[in-house]
Structure formats: C-alpha cells, structure tokens
Amino acid sequence: MSEETAVPSSVRPRRVLTDRRGGRSAPPYDSFNLGDHVGDDPAAVAANRARVAGELGVGEERLVWMDQVHGRGVAVVDGPQDGPLPQTDAVVTATPGLVLGVLVADCVPVLLADPVAGVVAAVHAGRKGVQGGVLPATLSAMASLGARARHVTALLGPAICGACYEVPAEMQAEVAAVSPATAVRTRRGTAGLDLRAGLAETLARAGVPEVVHDPRCTAEDPTLFSYRRDGVTGRQAGLVWLAPA
C-alpha cells in the first residue's frame, strides 16, 4: 500500500472511552471495571468486558488487551490473541474489526489512527512511558504498516491533570529532560507533571497534525477510576478499531 492510497471506504477508525458507570463490579471497583489484575471478582470483570464487546458489536475474542508494565514495548497484531499481550504498553493493527484496548486509572490512554493507511494503535502512557518513549516507538510500529505521521490523528483520554499530579522535583526534572512540556506547578505550587502536555509535544514534534484532548482529570472526576485518589480501584479503557463505515 502506498502512503497516499486511501483506506477502503468500507472501514473507518473509531475510538471509545469508558468510565466507571453501569457495570457489575462491587465497591471499591464499582462498577464498570475492565481491569482483570486489580483484585476484582473475575466474573464481574468478564461480564463488563462482554458488555463492551456487545456494545461494539464484536465477539469477545476480537478484544485485544495488554499486560501493561509501564514500559515501551509495542506489539503489532493481525488477529485475536490468546490472553493479554505480555509486557506490552502499546498495540498496533491494520486488521478491521480488531478492537485494541488500553486500561488506565491515571495514566493517559492514547488512541492513534491513520485513516489513509488504515492503521490504528492504543497506547498506555504514564510517567515512565513518557520518559521511556513509548509514543515514538508506537509511531514507528505504525509506520511499518504504512502509516505516516502527517495522516495520524490522536486522542489523549482522561488522565490525572498537572494541577493534581504532584511529584518530587528530581522526578519532574528527569521527565522534563525528555519532554519539557510535562513540567508544571500543581495547585499547591509544588512540582508537577502534565503528561498530556508532554505527549502532545511529542506528537507535534513527530509531525502529527491533529491532537484532541479529553480534559477530564481522573483524580477530580468521580465518574472515573483514579489510583492516585483511591488506591484500590478499577480501570477504565480506551478502545480503538477499524469499523465498517
């Protein structure tokens, strides 16, 4: 496929962000927890994931999840997987109908799509991911399937905001050395990190022309899961796929 060849008109990229409402999980995971690694009842998580598949109109086997480790590992997939992708923080596909999911509770869910090449990606970007370069690694993997940065659109989902994300000054400096835009002051006047600002900076540097921000802060919005706020909690998801037009 050449870089100017349009994806067939029968498919188009779609993106969805979930929140904590409307599921089966009991407190403190109430109620639409999609994380199967946080101590929730497995039957409740399975029911919640089945609802996702039903709402999207796909079989449960078409949902692709990751065993996220706050690294920069990227997997390229072309079909259903037997369980979560091990030690992976980004997943890329050009296969229509394969739904890529990223689980978060303060980190940034990044959903990428090149509608020209027909390539999509879901990225788990926390502090370590921003510092380690998970987003450039993902764009490189997308390019291997024909994607071009100038055609990519990005959605940065709900995450802890810079006003709430307080970190030691030394940690802020380490992240800012890679991504200067992350360095902010919290509402208390202390050192903070704005991960979405840093990711937007990285995308702009890579030549991505369209970046949409969901402005919600997980620590402030009670309809969202937040590890920083609650400790033991569930996970919401960002989902991206190539769907019938």
d(CA 60, CA 74): 22
The pLDDT of residue 163 is above 90:
yes
Helix, strand, coil shares of the chain, percent, nearest 5, are 25, 25, 45
Residue 48 sits at the vertex; the CA angle it makes with 45 and 51, to the nearest 5 degrees, is 150
pLDDT at position 155 is: 98
Mean pLDDT on 218-244: 97
Q: What is the tens place of the pLDDT at every residue in 192-206?
A: 999 999 999 999 999
User: Percentage of the chain with pLDDT > 90?
Assistant: 95
Q: What is the tens place of the pLDDT at every residue in 19-66?
A: 999 999 999 999 999 999 999 999 999 999 999 999 999 999 999 999
d(CA 216, CA 226): 12
1 band by pLDDT with thresholds 50, 70 and 90? very low
d(CA 131, CA 154): 19
Q: What is the tens place of the pLDDT at every residue in 58-68?
A: 999 999 999 99
pTM of the model: 0.94
In this structure, what DSSP letter does residue 70 have? S
Mean pLDDT on 77-93: 97
Mean pLDDT on 134-157: 97
* Measured CA distances, 77 to 74, 194, 208 (Å): 10, 30, 23
Angle between the 134-143 and 195-206 helix axes, to the nearest 10 degrees?
40
Secondary element (H or E) of residue 64: strand 63-64
Arithmetic mean of pLDDT over the chain: 95
Mean pLDDT on 141-145: 98
pLDDT at position 244 is: 81
The pLDDT of residue 7 is above 60:
no
Mean pLDDT on 152-170: 98
**Ramachandran class of 76: left when φ > 0, alpha when ψ lies in -120 to 50, beta otherwise:** beta
Per-residue buried b or exposed e for 197-229, using 16+ beta carbons within 10 Å of the residue's own CB:
bbbbbbbeeeebeebebbeebbbebeebbbbeb
Q: What is the CA radius of gyration of the chain?
A: 17
User: Percentage of the chain with pLDDT > 70?
Assistant: 96
The pLDDT of residue 92 is above 50:
yes
d(CA 181, CA 199): 8
Q: What is the tens place of the pLDDT at every residue in 99-134?
A: 999 999 999 999 999 999 999 999 999 999 999 999
The pLDDT of residue 6 is above 90:
no
